[in-house]
C-alpha cells in the first residue's frame, strides 16, 4: 500500500479545514497510526486515578497511545507509570487490570524481576551474560521504562509518552478548573474510584465520541426514544402533591430539553482542544438537594465558597484528546482508541470522600442509565456513531461538517464562551489535533534530517 500521509505533514494538515474535517480522520488506518504516534504521544493523556493503587505494590494496567502501560505504587509512596513490557523478550508483565505485586514485579517467562519503580532488580543465572556486552544492550539498561513524564493532578494521573514536549500546566491551562470543581465537591477534597468501570465497545472512531460530548443538538433528537418516552410515561402516571419525582426521571428527562435550553447553557473552550458545555446551567442543574450535604460543605469551606463550588453545573468537560468528566456527578469517561473503527469506552464513577452516600447512589444510577452497554441512552448514541462510521465510506462526499456558529475571525487559541449550540469546541479539538500531529511530524522530519 502506498503511504499517503506518513512523512507528509502537509497532507495531514490539509485534512483539517477551519469548519470541516476530512473523513480520513475517522476511517483511515494510516491516519490512525499517525495520531497514536504523534498526538497521543505528544499530549497529556489520562491514565488512571491514584485511588486505584492505594498501597505499595498495587498496580493498574491499561493502554495509552495503543501501547501497554502500567501504573504502580512504589514503596516511596509515588505512583510510577511504566511500559508494561519485559525488556527481555517483550512479555507483558501484568495482564490483569488491577492487583498487588508485592515488593517487586517478576516476569512470568524467565523470572527477570523489577522494582515497582521499574528498575531492574535481578536476572536468574546472570553469569550467562558475563562478557557478552549485555550491560550495553537495551535489555540490560532499561528495566521497565518509565513513560516520558507523569503528573498527578489532585489524584488524577496523566502522562506524556514523549520525553520532551508541552508542560502539563501549559497544555491544560484554565481547563483544570473543571477537575478542581469535581474534587472540591468532597468536603475533604478527595475522590475515590467506586467499583469497576463500565466497559463499552464501540465500532467507531474515538473522535466520534469526543465530538459527541459537546454536541448539544443531538439529545432531543437521538434520545427522543429514551428520554422522550420516559417523559411520556411519567406524564401519564397519576400523581398527587406527595408524588416524588424518581431519581431516574431527574437523570433522564433533561435530555429532552428544547434547543433554547442548550443554546442558553453556553459552551466554553480553552486552548489545546479542551472545553465544556453548561457554562450557565446544565442538565445537572435541577437535581434535588441531598440532605445534609450543603451543611457539610459549608462547614468545610465556609458558606460563600461552598455555594460557589456547588453552583457550578458544568455538563461535559472534554480534556483533549480523550477523556470527558462530569464534575457535578463525579464521572469520568475514557475513550480508548483501539483502531480507526474501534474504541473502548470506560466509564468510571467516584465517591466524594466524607459526603453522603446518596450522591454516589445517584452517580451510579447515572452511569448505568446513560453509559452502560445495557443503557438505552447508550444504544441511541452508539447507533448513530456506527451508522456514521459506515456512512463515511461513501466516496462521493469527503468532509465532515463542524460549521455551526462558525465565524471566520474565530481564534481558538483564546478562551471563549459562546452560545451552547456552537460547534466551536469540535473545531477546537480538530485545531489542536492538527497542531500537535503536524508539529510532532515536522519535529520527526527534522530529527531525521539532522541524523
Cell representation of residue 434: 492538527
**Dist. CA 45–CA 148, nearest whole Å:** 11
In the bound complex, what is the minimum distance in angstroms from residue 246's beta carbon to other proteins? 6
Which one of 121, 290, 353, 372 is in contact with other proteins (CB under 8 A)?
372
For the segment 223-252, give every residue that binds other proteins (CB under 8 A). 224-226, 228-230, 232-234, 246, 248-249
199 in contact with other proteins (CB under 8 A): yes
368 in contact with other proteins (CB under 8 A): yes
Pick what 224 binds: ligand FES, other proteins, Fe ion, none; C-beta below 5 to 8 Å, kind-dependent. Answer: other proteins
Q: Which residues contact Fe ion (rule: CB under 5 A)?
A: 381
For the segment 44-103, give every residue that binds other proteins (CB under 8 A). none
Contact stretch for other proteins (CB under 8 A) within 78-86, 119-127, 145-153, 221-229: 221-229
Q: Which residues contact 202 (CB under 8 A, 6 or more apart)?
A: 208, 209, 342, 343, 344, 345, 382, 385, 386
Q: Which residues contact 249 (CB under 8 A, 6 or more apart)?
A: 230, 234
Q: Closer to ligand FES by CB, 106 or 368: give it.
A: 106
Which one of 102, 108, 174, 196 is in contact with other proteins (CB under 8 A)?
196
In the bound complex, what is the minimum distance in angstroms from residue 108's beta carbon to ligand FES? 7
Q: Closer to Fe ion by CB, 159 or 324: give it.
A: 324
For the segment 128-157, give every residue that binds other proteins (CB under 8 A). none
373 in contact with other proteins (CB under 8 A): yes
Q: Which residues contact ligand FES (rule: CB under 6 A)?
A: 86, 88-89, 91, 107, 109-110, 112
Kindly list the distances between the CA atom of residue 58 and the CA atoms of 72, 137, 145, 306, 357, in Å, as whole numbers in the listed order.
6, 29, 18, 34, 26
C-alpha dihedral, 397 to 438 to 418 to 411, nearest 10°: -110
Q: Closer to ligand FES by CB, 90 or 196: give it.
A: 90
Q: Closer to Fe ion by CB, 183 or 332: give it.
A: 332
Coil, helix or strand at residue 157: strand
Pick what 88 binds: ligand FES, other proteins, Fe ion, none; C-beta below 5 to 8 Å, kind-dependent. Answer: ligand FES
Which one of 45, 360, 392, 412 is in contact with other proteins (CB under 8 A)?
360
Contact stretch for other proteins (CB under 8 A) within 74-82, 196-204, 253-261, 391-399: 196-204
Residue window 200-219: x/- pattern of binding to other proteins, with contact defined by CB under 8 A: xxxx----------------
Contact stretch for other proteins (CB under 8 A) within 133-141, 198-206, 284-292, 429-437: 198-206
361 in contact with other proteins (CB under 8 A): yes
Q: φ, ψ for residue 234 (rounded to 5)? A: -60, -40
Q: Closer to Fe ion by CB, 220 or 358: give it.
A: 220
Q: Report which of 192, 184, 178, 180 is spatially closest to residue 301, judged by C-alpha positions.
A: 184
Cβ(430)–Cβ(402) under 8 Å? yes
In the bound complex, what is the minimum distance in angstroms from residue 350's beta carbon to other proteins? 11
Residue window 293-332: x/- pattern of binding to other proteins, with contact defined by CB under 8 A: ----------------------------------------
**Dist. CA 50–CA 23, nearest whole Å:** 37
380 in contact with other proteins (CB under 8 A): yes
**Dist. CA 125–CA 146, nearest whole Å:** 26
Residue 267's H or E segment, with its range, is: strand 267-270
Which one of 27, 69, 86, 198 is in contact with other proteins (CB under 8 A)?
198
Pick what 305 binds: Fe ion, ligand FES, other proteins, none; C-beta below 5 to 8 Å, kind-dependent. Answer: none
Cβ(40)–Cβ(321) under 8 Å? yes
367 in contact with other proteins (CB under 8 A): yes
Q: How far is CA 356 from the centre of its chain?
A: 26
Q: Report which of 353, 360, 335 is spatially closest to residue 345, judged by C-alpha positions.
A: 335
Kindly list the distances between the CA atom of residue 214 and the CA atoms of 206, 290, 369, 423, in Å, as whole numbers in the listed order.
14, 27, 19, 8
Kindly list the distances between the CA atom of residue 134 and the CA atoms of 119, 137, 140, 141, in Å, as whole numbers in the listed order.
16, 5, 6, 8
Pick what 197 binds: ligand FES, other proteins, Fe ion, none; C-beta below 5 to 8 Å, kind-dependent. Answer: other proteins
In the bound complex, what is the minimum distance in angstroms from residue 381's beta carbon to Fe ion? 4
How many residues line the site for other proteins (CB under 8 A)?
Answer: 45
Kindly list the distances between the CA atom of residue 342 and the CA atoms of 54, 64, 203, 242, in Å, as whole numbers in the listed order.
31, 15, 5, 48
For the segment 335-354, give every residue that binds other proteins (CB under 8 A). 344, 347, 349, 351
Q: φ, ψ for residue 137 (rounded to 5)? A: -75, 165
Amino acid at each position: 500500500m502506498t503511504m499517503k500521509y506518513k512523512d507528509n505533514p502537509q497532507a495531514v494538515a490539509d485534512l483539517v479545514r477551519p469548519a470541516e474535517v476530512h473523513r480520513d480522520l475517522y476511517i483511515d488506518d494510516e491516519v490512525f497510526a499517525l495520531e497514536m504516534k504523534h498526538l497521543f504521544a505528544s499530549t497529556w493523556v489520562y491514565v488512571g486515578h491514584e485511588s486505584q493503587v492505594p498501597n505499595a505494590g498495587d498496580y493498574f494496567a491499561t493502554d495509552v497511545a495503543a501501547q501497554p502501560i502500567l501504573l504502580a505504587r512504589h514503596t516511596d509512596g509515588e505512583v510510577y507509570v511504566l511500559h508494561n513490557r519485559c525488556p527481555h523478550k517483550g512479555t507483558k508483565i501484568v495482564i490483569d487490570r488491577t492487583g498487588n505485586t508485592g515488593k517487586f514485579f517478576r516476569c512470568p517467562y524467565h523470572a527477570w524481576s523489577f522494582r515497582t519503580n521499574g528498575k531492574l532488580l535481578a536476572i536468574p543465572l546472570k553469569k550467562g551474560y558475563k562478557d557478552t556486552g549485555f550491560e550495553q544492550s537495551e535489555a540490560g539498561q532499561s528495566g521497565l521504562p518509565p513513560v516520558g513524564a507523569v503528573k498527578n493532578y489532585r489524584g488524577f494521573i496523566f502522562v506524556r509518552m514523549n520525553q520532551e514536549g508541552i508542560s502539563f500546566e501549559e497544555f491544560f491551562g484554565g481547563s483544570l478548573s473543571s477537575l478542581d470543581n469535581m474534587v472540591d465537591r468532597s468536603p475533604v477534597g478527595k475522590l475515590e474510584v467506586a467499583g469497576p468501570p463500565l466497559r463499552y465497545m464501540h465500532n467507531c472512531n474515538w473522535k466520534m465520541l469526543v465530538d459527541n460530548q459537546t454536541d448539544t443538538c443531538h439529545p432531543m433528537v437521538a434520545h427522543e426514544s429514551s428520554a422522550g418516552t420516559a417523559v411520556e410515561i411519567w406524564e401519564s402516571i397519576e400523581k398527587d402533591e406527595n408524588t416524588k419525582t424518581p431519581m431516574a426521571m431527574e437523570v433522564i428527562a433533561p435530555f429532552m430539553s428544547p434547543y433554547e435550553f442548550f443554546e442558553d447553557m453556553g459552551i466554553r473552550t480553552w486552548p489545546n482542544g479542551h472545553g465544556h458545555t453548561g457554562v450557565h446551567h446544565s442538565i445537572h442543574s435541577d437535581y434535588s438537594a441531598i440532605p445534609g450535604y450543603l451543611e457539610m460543605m459549608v462547614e468545610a469551606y465556609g458558606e460563600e465558597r461552598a455555594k460557589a463550588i456547588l453552583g457550578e453545573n458544568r455538563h461535559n468537560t472534554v480534556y483533549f484528546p480523550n477523556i470527558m468528566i462530569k464534575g457535578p456527578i463525579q464521572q469520568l469517561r475514557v475513550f480508548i482508541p483501539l483502531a480507526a473503527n474501534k474504541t473502548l469506552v470506560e466509564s468510571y464513577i467516584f465517591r466524594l470522600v466524607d459526603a453522603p452516600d446518596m450522591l454516589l447512589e445517584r452517580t451510579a444510577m447515572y452511569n448505568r442509565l446513560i453509559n452502560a452497554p445495557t443503557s438505552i441512552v447508550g444504544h441511541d448514541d452508539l447507533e448513530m456513531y456506527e451508522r456514521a462510521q459506515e456512512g463515511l465510506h461513501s466516496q462521493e462526499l469527503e468532509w465532515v461538517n463542524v460549521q455551526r456558529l462558525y465565524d471566520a475571525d474565530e481564534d481558538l487559541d483564546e478562551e471563549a464562551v459562546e452560545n451552547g449550540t456552537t460547534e466551536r469546541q469540535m473545531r477546537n479539538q480538530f485545531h489542536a489535533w492538527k497542531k500537535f500531529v503536524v508539529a510532532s511530524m515536522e519535529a520527526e522530519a527534522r530529527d531525521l534530517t539532522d541524523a
